[in-house]
Homo-oligomer: A and B are copies of this chain.
Amino acid sequence: MTVTAMTTRPGLAELGLPSGQRARLYRLLYQHGLGNGTAIFLPYDQGLEHGPRDFFANPAASDPKYVIRLALEGGFNAIAIQIGLAEKFYWEYAGEIPLILKLNGKTDIPTSIDPLSPVNATVREAVRLGADAVGYTLYVGSPAQEHDFRQYLAIRDEARQLGMPLIVWSYPRGTAIDGKGGKDSFYAVDYAARTASELGADVVKVNFPHPEKQDGVPPAYQGEISLQHAISAVVRSANRTLLLVSGGERAGDEAMLEKARQSMEAGATGLIFGRNVWQREHEESLRFAGQLREILAKYPS
């Protein structure tokens, strides 16, 4: 396969955005965090997705108030939480740091051969709470995609009508994906980025692609492919959908920072790091967040 030159990060003016969406995206990208058009978001829905065990490494992180304050102190652009925490904890910090209301989610208790993330809040509620964006998890390639697309349409349509930016957690999942290189193969992540773009996401969150995972992937994704090449292709597949790279499970700092650099170099708009940030002591969290900010600072737009 051949791939052409680096993609430049799309600017807000190119996106054909209606007024409400543009106002909120501008606030997220230019009035918080570094204010330079990049973004780093703090996701905190793991209490629902994995349960309290995710907080055992740093018990303080079990307290939503602690995590919201961490987002403020660490200079994050926004925090992404579910309705329950948003209602009970965000009111104390409303306006100080933007809110991304995550609209769907599920526990990881039952098996996930045909996963679907059910909606538990509405865009209207995001407006009521003063949120600047909503988040939706789309399980790309799930046998349940029919239900997922339908559910997604209702959210996207309501978001458009209320001028609310929509961030899609675009996650390849399900038995078919398991047989085609797995959920973070270059093939799967590339397809997930494009799917979010085709379906009208304003922003897409993807995992960093692993081009070396090639078992069962289509021929076009086989052969020697560099990490930089892969993430650049993924950003291009997202075209005018702003792209965020996810931190995923906690891993080594140097590897994470390198992926952050490669992502920004490829044209990503920013990062969305949760467990890598708050699954450590408070000072360590701030130090690591500072390192991520240093990277973003090199990519103003």
Residues of A78-103 whose CB lies within 8 A of B? 82-85, 87-92
Residues of B with C-beta under 8 A to A152:
120
A118 adjacent to chain B (CB < 8 Å): yes
A237 adjacent to chain B (CB < 8 Å): yes
A9 adjacent to chain B (CB < 8 Å): no
Closest Cβ of chain B: how far from A56's Cβ, in Å? 5
Contact B84 A16 (CB under 8 A): no
6 closest pairs, A vs B, by CB? A109-B141, A118-B149, A16-B91, A84-B200, A51-B191, A88-B240
Residues of B with C-beta under 8 A to A91:
16
Contact B48 A199 (CB under 8 A): yes
Closest Cβ of chain B: how far from A261's Cβ, in Å? 23
Contact A176 B109 (CB under 8 A): yes
Other-chain residue from B145, B153, B174, B240 in contact with A89 (beta carbon distance below 8 A): B240
Closest Cβ of chain B: how far from A80's Cβ, in Å? 12
Other-chain residue from B51, B64, B84, B118 in contact with A190 (beta carbon distance below 8 A): B51
Instruction: Kindly state the separation between the CA atoms of A146 and B141 in the bound complex, as whole angstroms.
Output: 18
Contact A195 B107 (CB under 8 A): yes
Other-chain residue from B51, B196, B201 in contact with A187 (beta carbon distance below 8 A): B51
Given A62-B236, A110-B145, A191-B51: A122 and B157 interface contact (C-beta under 8 Å): yes
Residues of B with C-beta under 8 A to A201:
84
